[in-house]
Amino acid sequence: MIGIFGGTFNPVHYGHLRSALEVKDIFDLAEIRLIPSANPPHRDLPSVSAESRLKMLQLAIDQQTDLKIDDRELNRAGPSYMVDTLKSIRSEIGSQPLILFIGSDAFNQLTTWHEWQALFNYAHIVVLTRPNYHLQALNDFFSAHLSIDRTELAQNSAGKLYFQSVRQLDISATAIRDMIAQHKNPGFLLPDKVLTYIRQHQLYLR
Ligand code: ATP
């Protein structure tokens, strides 16, 4: 099984990295790929270029062989629709199971994503939840795709919705950007090498 974790990573932080490592173990993934978004359709254009966000991801992962970066969205013009990314990965991996991991915040917006129902033609979706998180009412489409047995994901290429509780670190890129803008030190919320890069390039100072 291959897992992917999309985001703006503006900047990448330990919340992203820890979750990615954790799901690699929980789902016994052959690979977990972090996919930086170039032009996220749901938000303003990130304040920092795609190249810098990619560079920070590379610095964050460094010697960590358990995590990989997939930069295909940066090589594609137009909005970074996840459905196009999944199609493109699917065309390369044949019928291997593919899992798209998203946070519960992203799941709450999922029905606004471009061709959101088609996502399930190409991948399973696993929503990363907090321990004791209470599921919101699911619409009929989600209920029809819901699985409560993790082994079903390995047995099918795509099409299941699963909720997985992971250790949550209360870290967000927004909070890190705000700290930097206020000349506070966000150390220990993100890798030192990423923070050094941010300082060298004077990012997020506003
Ligand atoms: P921002 O604060 O700018 O919205 P972010 O920290 O939420 O950024 P994104 O790049 O937007 O980071 O998130 C990418 C993915 O990582 C999303 O699915 C999001 O839900 C998830 N995510 C973000 N922060 C955490 C965290 N602390 N723990 C687990 N998942 C996270």
**Where are the domains positioned within the chain?**
2-170
Q: Please tell me the distance from the alpha carbon of residue 98 to that of residue 193, in angstroms, as a whole number.
A: 31
Say which CATH architecture domain 2-170 belongs to. Answer: 3-Layer(aba) Sandwich (3.40)
| Assigned token pair, 108 | 């709450």
Long-range CB contacts for residues 49-54, cutoff 8 Å, separation at least 24 = 50/74, 52/197, 52/201, 52/203, 53/8, 53/9, 53/10, 53/11, 53/12
Pocket test of ligand 1: the residue of 16, 44, 101, 178 to mutate, having most ligand atoms within 8 Å of its CB, is: 16
Comparing CA positions, the residue from 69, 74, 91, 157 lying closest to residue 121 is 157
| Assigned token pair, 158 | 């795509």
CA 40 to ligand 1: nearest atom? 11
Cβ atoms of 8 and 37 within 8 Å: the answer is yes
Residues in the ligand 1 pocket, defined by CB under 6 Å: 7-10, 15-16, 19, 102-103, 105-106, 128, 168-169, 171-174
pLDDT surpassing 70 at residue 175: yes
Q: Please tell me the distance from the alpha carbon of residue 38 to that of residue 45, in angstroms, as a whole number.
A: 8
pLDDT surpassing 90 at residue 126: yes
| Assigned token pair, 102 | 């998203």
Provide the pLDDT for residue 135: 66
Using CA positions, which residue lies closest to atom 29 of ligand 1? Answer: 15
Per-residue pLDDT band at 129 (split at 50, 70, 90): confident
Q: Please tell me the distance from the alpha carbon of residue 59 to that of residue 186, in angstroms, as a whole number.
A: 17
Q: Please tell me the distance from the alpha carbon of residue 152 to that of residue 156, in angstroms, as a whole number.
A: 6
Distance, C-alpha 199 to centroid of its chain? 24
Comparing CA positions, the residue from 11, 10, 57 lying closest to residue 32 is 57
Using CA positions, which residue lies closest to atom 13 of ligand 1? Answer: 7
pTM (predicted TM-score): 0.92
Cβ atoms of 139 and 175 within 8 Å: the answer is no
Mean pLDDT over all residues of the chain? 92
Long-range CB contacts for residues 61-67, cutoff 8 Å, separation at least 24 = 61/17, 61/34, 62/191, 62/193, 64/17, 66/21, 66/24, 66/32, 67/17, 67/20, 67/21, 67/24, 67/32, 67/34
- CA 97 to centroid of ligand 1, rounded, Å: 24
- CA 99 to centroid of ligand 1, rounded, Å: 17
Per-residue pLDDT band at 181 (split at 50, 70, 90): very high
pLDDT surpassing 70 at residue 91: yes
Provide the pLDDT for residue 151: 95
